[in-house]
Structure 1
Amino acid sequence: MDREAAVVRRPRGRRTQILLAAAEQFHRRGYHQVAMAEVAAAVGITAPALYRHYRGKPELLRQAVRGGLDELDRAVTAAGTRPERGPVALAEALAAVALDQRALGTLCQRDARLLPAAQRSELRRQLCATVRSGAGQLRAARAELATSEAELLLWSALSVGGSLSYHTFAPPRRRFEQLLSGLLCGVLDAQVDTASDVRSKRRVDEDEPVGRREELLAAAVRLFDERGFDNVSTDRIGAAVGIAGPSLYKHFPTKVDLLAAALVRCRERLWHEVAGTLTGPGEPTAMLVNGLAAYVDFARRHHHYLGAMVSETERLAEPDRTRAVDFRRDFLRLWVDLLRQVRPEYDKAEARIRVHAMFALVNDGVRHPAWRRTGQPAPGLAQLAGTVLGLPGTA
């Protein structure tokens, strides 16, 4: 055999193929549910061949996130070369990345929590640098904005783009780009009001846990949200409430049962406090405005519950997972149906995309220091979310 013919050449871009396959599988199934052999099979190679490219699954995850952030940074930098177009260029760049890197939202928010602290910090610094760059472009177009305000709008725009990670709705590409660019332009053009709402008397910490079971639920859901279900031991949960880890089993048979109980509690509160404002007799626009205010208030007080609901539902056993998914579907349908009454020109796909974008903006926004530094909901967050929904008078 000819020596040259006997040489096995690796396909060009193999590392990129592996990263894309890994990112897609992590996004759809969750980091801990994906084996290296499955990633290898997705690109038509063996697991040992995969290890010649990447040392292990943590390295795959880190590089997948880093690759997505590199794409984001390149897009923001390119938008800066068109200053005459102002925020429109930035919105179009962010929309293109959101569509092309649809897995990036879940990789950054859900899976990157599982990386070592030093690697998480490195990725966070990279993202923050991109936000500062975009904020500088925004301030060049909107001189009235302070640096902190411009950065807040950039973070909000990233939340809207990242919302695509949490659903599969996909109108035709051109229409999708136009819709998403319009949503992002609305966010980047918005006014910023981080003052507290003095009319609200409810504090973020109003709902203090009562009893050991409730303490365990509150502590566990905070840790699951911050660190990820698989990174939290029963010993850590017990220590958070001052008991030994094995004592947890007096209240819950397993850690998965604890997660299931926490998410049931979240669904009960969410339905009781928010869903009721979206149903019943009343003028649709007023009901939607009231529902949005209720959701922002709920998210301020229970952001850990919402975070765990978004990121940890797939860790549930059947039929708990089915019930959780059914609840999310029903809750989304309430918003979509009411929004289409207020804005009948929206078809179902556009209404769903807007509602998902609103959820992401609020869920992320309540964690931002600018919105959390007071004990009350800031009216600007609800106003920004109303802009994403297309509420009359908010654009």
Structure 2
Amino acid sequence: MAGTDGRIRDPERKERILVEAAQLIARRGYLGVNLADIGSAAGIVGSGVYRHFDNKGAILVALFDRVVDRLIVDAEDSLRASDSPETTLAALVRGQVRFTISERALCQVYLQESRNLPDQDSRRLRWKMRHYVDLWQEALVSVREDLSPAQVQVLVHAAISTIHSALRYRNHLDEPDLAAFLEQVTCGMLGIEPLPSDTSTPADGPHEDTIAG
């Protein structure tokens, strides 16, 4: 597909660039990776990256957008599919847990590299992420009427941070056991029961090998 600037763009190649960039940046840090590294990992010359992205910063922004957009879509799907506030909140927990585990490198980039975003994109992404957190807070308010607004805010951020803690160290649990344990712990913090183990959520599916939104 040709862009408005005349460059020929291959969607599959663009996806490879993003996948490999996430892996490299998660391992080395944003400042430790250059476009030649990303191109080589994606099987193209470094200059070929410019067919899809103007610079390394644009790749980082695209990775952040993938994280936030995917979380918001999954959360909104959970809201539509759930039949009670409790199942909505439990589905939000499951979606965040499974996304974090299946997209480990992508989520590590999101947690570690916000300081390297351009200012304008950083503000825009913070606004989008606030919408996602608001969905959690609205669900929790419906379940926990005993909590003040300030307590709701603290508890939601603590719950999401608990899930993200799995990215900060290597544990000895396999992925299914880790997911189940994180769900149990996080739902316990929120004062709800986790979804049954055989209940799917919008975040379930073949996300292991792709970061496509």
Which deviations, in whole Å up to 9, do the C-alpha atoms of 1:324-344 show, x marking residues without a partner? 000111111111121121111
Match of 2:25 in 1: 224
Q: 1:217: Cα distance to partner?
A: 0.6
1:341 correspondence with 2:137: no
1:391 correspondence with 2:192: yes
SS at structure 1 position matched to 2:88:
helix
Match of 1:9 in 2: none
Residues 319 and 345 of structure 1, relative CA distance in 2, 3 Å threshold? same
Match of 1:370 in 2: 172
The answer (yes or no) to whether the contact 1:313–1:324 under 8 Å persists in 2 is no
Give the RMSD, CA atoms, in angstroms: 2.5
**Among the aligned pairs, what percent are the same residue?**
26
Match of 1:248 in 2: 49
Bigger Rg over Cα: 1
Q: 1:279: Cα distance to partner?
A: 5.3
Which deviations, in whole Å up to 9, do the C-alpha atoms of 1:274-331 show, x marking residues without a partner? 3321357731011111221122111121122222222222322243212100011111
- Amino acid across the alignment from 2:133: L
Aligned residues: 184
Match of 1:18 in 2: none
Match of 1:329 in 2: 130
> What TM-score, normalized by structure 2, do the two folds share?
0.76
- Amino acid across the alignment from 2:188: T
Q: 1:257: Cα distance to partner?
A: 0.6
- Amino acid across the alignment from 1:359: I
SS at structure 2 position matched to 1:261:
helix
The 1-side partners of 2:131 and 2:81 are apart by 16
Mark the runs of 5 or more structure 2 residues left unpaired by the alignment: 1-10, 196-213
Match of 2:208 in 1: none
Match of 2:63 in 1: 262
The answer (yes or no) to whether the contact 1:278–1:335 under 8 Å persists in 2 is no
The 2-side partners of 1:376 and 1:254 are apart by 39
Match of 1:315 in 2: 116
Match for residue 87 of structure 2 among 286, 300, 304: 286
Which deviations, in whole Å up to 9, do the C-alpha atoms of 1:131-166 show, x marking residues without a partner? xxxxxxxxxxxxxxxxxxxxxxxxxxxxxxxxxxxx
The 1-side partners of 2:117 and 2:179 are apart by 34
Residues 292 and 393 of structure 1, relative CA distance in 2, 3 Å threshold? closer
Which deviations, in whole Å up to 9, do the C-alpha atoms of 1:59-117 show, x marking residues without a partner? xxxxxxxxxxxxxxxxxxxxxxxxxxxxxxxxxxxxxxxxxxxxxxxxxxxxxxxxxxx
1:212 correspondence with 2:13: yes
Residues 392 and 379 of structure 1, relative CA distance in 2, 3 Å threshold? closer
Q: 1:392: Cα distance to partner?
A: 5.3
The 1-side partners of 2:178 and 2:127 are apart by 29
Residues 383 and 368 of structure 1, relative CA distance in 2, 3 Å threshold? farther
The 2-side partners of 1:300 and 1:374 are apart by 7
